[in-house]
Amino acid sequence: MARFASRDIVELLDAFLRRNAALSEDDIQVRMSNLAEGRAQTPNSSSEAFRRAFVLPDADVTRGPAPLAFPEDALAAADLPPRDVRKRLAHLTDYVAAQVEAGELPCIDLPDLHRANGIYDARGNVFLGHNIRPLALDRQGGKAFMRVLLTLEMASDNLRNGVCTTKRGLYYYHQARLPDDVASQLDTDRALAALANVLRVRRKALGFVEARRGSVYGRLVIRDGGEVVDLAQVGPAGRSIPRFTDNVEIVSSDAEFILIVEKESIAFRLAQARWWDAARCIIVCGSGFPSLSTREYVRRLVDTLGIPALICVDADPGGIQVALTYAHGSISTALETPWLACNNIWWVGLCPSDIDRHCQSDHLIAFNETDFEAARGLLQHPSDTYINNRVREELAILVDRGFKAELEAVSVDMSRFVDEYLPRKIFDCELVKL
């Protein structure tokens, strides 16, 4: 009979259970032998494994209120204290151990992160439906399954010891336990997302932090670790977006809006020009696709200060996706949408309809097949609130003309960009609501 998983994966599960599960060594040895030789029960409609479902042990636990409500028909996550998260981690360990003890192939049902499982509220915010996809300790999913368990183990250590681990540190932990020449940071990130989604908690609740990415400049006073910082006085040096935004207090600001800039080079040039002096704003840069911390920071600024956010991105499908992610979230992080989505965001530029007027032809970039596919995918999005008609019109311009432009195409002449393009777009034009 064919083995369900390679021997090295079975040995890794053996070691995990010996470290974490309340099973006897003899019982583990017998079950691991059955797994290696293909004698475990595969989940099917008549097996106990098929009928058993992972049920959270504390569904009625007191939860901190989320800034936005989850729709009734969507999966919901909770912002839980470490004690309750550790309880859920232990429960998942017991769930996997019980499957092994029953002679079944270990399997976890993960929320399906495909667009077809998206649920959208009236403002366009994206949430997850109840579709699932099984992840089993078989030949196809064995490594991914073990990465989830190894992530569970490190998360338990993080919370027990009151420490945090970087996502890069988690990757090295995976590689030390499960060497894999083709695995990347993306595989580790997927394991972390899968664990958080199964447990219905925020990723940061598991004690993992992102690399610092993103900066903030301008008319904002914050208190960080007891230090009061006036970012306008700091000047072009700005301040890095904190990994945990809850640890930073927003003290005051006289800004009239927040300007989100996709590109670090553009944001820094605006900071060098101290653009916030004339425009009375706060500048936030996500350095490309924004981190969870940057998205949460923008939402906090908008909610706390009661001012809108305006966003500048490339006139291409990727830039538009960045803008939509700030505004409504993404399917990959949909269980955290209430803490990340910011609905008071307006698209300033670079809009495809701006290209003819503000970009020289030698700065335009022809679409390739990937660009066409991405643009059409956005145009075919099922939600008219996630991508409204005005945004679809701009996308249609890209597809029709078959070329794109980056923000640098406008900012080649920085004085023109600062003194003409941005002021005109912000104060004299009808902005695109996201």
DSSP secondary-structure letter at 287?
Answer: S
Q: What is the largest CA-CA distance in the chain?
A: 76
Give the DSSP letter string of 18-48: HHH----HHHHHHHHHHHHTT-SBPP-TTSH
Res 52: pLDDT: 60
Task: Of 372, 67, 36, 399, give the one whose Cα is nearest residue 245.
Answer: 67
| Single residue among 149, 177, 209 that ends a domain in this structure | 209
| Single residue among 165, 182, 209 that ends a domain in this structure | 209
Three-state DSSP class for residue 333: helix
Residue 93 shares a structural domain with residue 239? no
pTM above 0.85, yes or no: yes
Residue 194 shares a structural domain with residue 227? no
Res 1: pLDDT: 35
Q: What is the pLDDT along the chain (434 residues), one digit of tens a residue?
A: 344 667 788 888 888 878 887 777 777 777 777 776 666 666 554 555 445 667 776 655 545 567 888 888 888 888 888 999 999 999 999 888 888 887 788 889 999 999 899 999 999 999 999 998 989 888 788 899 999 999 999 999 999 999 999 999 999 999 999 888 888 999 999 999 999 999 999 999 999 988 778 899 999 998 988 889 899 988 888 888 888 777 888 999 999 999 999 988 888 888 888 989 988 999 999 888 899 999 999 999 999 999 999 999 988 899 999 999 999 999 999 999 999 999 899 998 888 888 777 777 677 788 888 988 898 999 999 999 999 999 999 999 888 888 888 877 776 667 777 777 888 888 877 888 99
Q: Can you point out the beta strands (E) in 265-344?
A: 281-285, 309-312
DSSP secondary-structure letter at 429?
Answer: S
| Single residue among 209, 238, 268 that ends a domain in this structure | 209
The answer to whether residue 217 sits within a structural domain is no
The answer to whether residue 1 sits within a structural domain is no
**Cα R_g (the chain), whole angstroms:** 24
- Whether the CB-CB separation of 237 and 190 falls below 8 Å is answered with no
Residue type, 117: N
Res 145: pLDDT: 92
Res 63: pLDDT: 58
Residue 273 shares a structural domain with residue 164? no
Per the structure, the complete domain to which residue 63 belongs is given by 7-209
The answer to whether residue 265 sits within a structural domain is yes
CATH for 381: 3.40.1360.10
Give the DSSP letter string of 220-253: -EEEETTEEEEHHHHGGG-EEPPSSGGGEEEEE-
Residue 353 shares a structural domain with residue 230? yes
DSSP secondary-structure letter at 404?
Answer: E
Residue 325 shares a structural domain with residue 422? yes
